[in-house]
Structure 1
Amino acid sequence: METESSLDAAAAARHARFGRLPDRIQFHEMVEEKVAEPNASGIASYNPEGSWNHFSCLALDLGL
């Protein structure tokens, strides 16, 4: 019987110190959707045809 009362006292002390967990945040509260705006300079931010020349390749550098 003493162990139950000491566990209840410990649980009460823990609850008094920490309270309860915060409410869960819903997914729709974490996400904001925006419409993509074109770049101010008019240059596309990603060009799949020209993106190959932005990477260093040792085989290309050696002419292999």
Structure 2
Amino acid sequence: MTHRTHTHDTPRTDTDAAEAAVARRQRFGSLPERIRLQDTVETKPATRPDPARDAYHPDEWLIRYCG
């Protein structure tokens, strides 16, 4: 069995081409409005500052046991 993808040619007229061009220009004629970078990014801290956690010194054990 053969597969046909195109069975006949439909002649295009100049008015069909002009209408297609107008429709194409209306749809794709301009780029969308630019979005500023400031409008796309939101920044906020991941966690609140915790003074008790920040008071810990990670190398304190070196000072106590290796000194």
TM range (shorter): 0.3 to 0.5
Query: Which structure is higher in RCO with an 8 Å CA cutoff and minimum separation 6?
Result: 1
More helix by share: 1
**TM-score calculated relative to the size of structure 2:** 0.33
